[in-house]
């Protein structure tokens, strides 16, 4: 039997640019669940009627608003403890730059198996977080790196994610062993909050350097999947501006629109909160030659993977860069 290459190795060997692969999230809920609970949450056929209702309501919310949400499962520091949730919403401080997410923590006496209550109360009915089952807990300053180590979903995440998680913890960076959130061909892949950046093909050394900002954005641009606060194609322009302005760019609130043209091209317009007022940038995004890559380390099937090119960036009148 032929042994398959890891999909992450195939992606790196092909020179895949991961930019534009970050999901677009208006908010993120992190459920602190023991690793065995991850499989139970992912087993749709085993959901209770209550759990099914929660996800049906979440689908309705996304369809009505067009705003997606992130769901991360992270192993708690103390296994077996009651359910805790961390809820991130796009916005300013505390505990994040204007361009990132605001973190709020909640503890409960609920068993971890009641994870659907955590989703309902953070994403569907936040008023339930005041009193009742939940107690607000102080949220710490600094970044959290959620590293996918979910090797049962894809072997690449177990192979490359676990050493990255261990290196971050050994360096004193707050890191979480996290279930699958998409993009295992980018292993080791991580979600950095509250900045909202997603990273690809991290090594243990590089992960620590990124977390400590010991490298410039230009040095790690090829490892950036994008900022989850923006639509995928807008993430290309956002990366360009991050490289131009440096890490301080992350302290700016940003929003963007994407216009699609009949020829398959797009125009991205991004406005940021600059030091002297709003700054607006525009650039075309054009399709590049796709890559033929496996979607999994466990199956040989390959499919085209989109690649994109950012055209000339224009600073619109009235912008004071």
Angle value at C-alpha 88, between 212 and 142, nearest 5 degrees: 20
Half-sphere exposure of 8 toward its Cβ, with a 13 Å CA cutoff?
Answer: 23
Structural domain spans, the chain: 1-230
pLDDT at 108: 96
φ, ψ of residue 80 to 5 degrees: the values are 85, 0
Residues of the chain by 3-state class (helix, strand, coil), percent to 5: 35, 30, 35
pLDDT at 96: 46
DSSP single-letter state for residue 100: S
Residues 6+ apart with CB under 8 A from 219: none
Tokens 């309902």 — which residue?
120
Q: What is the per-residue DSSP string for 187-217?
A: -S-EEEETTTEEE-S--HHHHHHHHHT-S-H
Residue 267, H or E segment: strand 266-274
Class of domain 1-230: alpha beta
Taking the chain (321 residues) in consecutive chunks of 10 residues, what is each chunk's mean pLDDT? 81 96 95 94 93 95 88 94 95 62 95 96 94 91 93 89 97 95 93 97 98 98 97 97 97 95 92 88 96 88 94 85 51
Residues 6+ apart with CB under 8 A from 267: 258, 259, 261, 282, 283, 284, 285
């Amino acid at each position: 039997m032929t042994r398959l290459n890891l999909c992450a190795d195939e992606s790196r060997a092909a020179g895949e640019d991961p930019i534009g692969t970050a999901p677009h999230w208006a908010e993120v809920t992190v459920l602190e669940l023991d690793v065995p609970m991850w499989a139970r949450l992912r087993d749709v056929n085993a959901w209770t009627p209550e759990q099914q209702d929660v996800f049906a309501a979440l689908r309705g919310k996304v369809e009505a608003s067009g705003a997606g949400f992130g769901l991360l499962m992270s192993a708690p520091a103390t296994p077996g403890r009651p359910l805790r949730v961390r809820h991130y919403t796009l916005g300013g401080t505390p505990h994040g730059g204007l361009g990132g997410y605001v973190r709020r923590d909640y503890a409960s006496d609920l068993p971890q198996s009641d994870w659907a209550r955590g989703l309902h109360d953070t994403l569907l009915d936040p008023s339930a977080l005041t009193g009742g089952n939940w107690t607000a807990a102080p949220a710490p300053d600094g970044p959290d790196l959620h590293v996918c180590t979910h090797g049962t979903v894809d072997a690449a995440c177990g192979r490359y994610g676990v050493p990255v998680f261990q290196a971050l913890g050994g360096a004193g960076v707050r890191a979480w062993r996290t279930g699958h959130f998409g993009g295992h061909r980018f292993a080791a892949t991580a979600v950095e909050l509250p900045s909202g950046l997603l990273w690809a093909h991290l090594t243990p050394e590089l992960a620590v350097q990124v977390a400590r900002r010991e490298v410039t954005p230009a040095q790690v641009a090829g490892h950036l999947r994008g900022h989850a606060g923006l639509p995928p194609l807008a993430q290309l322009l956002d990366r360009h501006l991050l490289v131009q302005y440096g890490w301080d760019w992350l302290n700016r609130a940003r929003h963007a629109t994407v216009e699609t043209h009949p020829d398959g091209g797009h125009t991205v317009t991004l406005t940021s909160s600059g030091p002297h007022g709003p700054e607006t940038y525009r650039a075309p995004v054009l399709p590049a030659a796709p890559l033929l890559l496996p979607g999994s380390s466990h199956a040989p099937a390959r499919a085209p993977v989109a690649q994109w090119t950012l055209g000339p960036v224009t600073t619109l009148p009235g912008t004071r860069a």
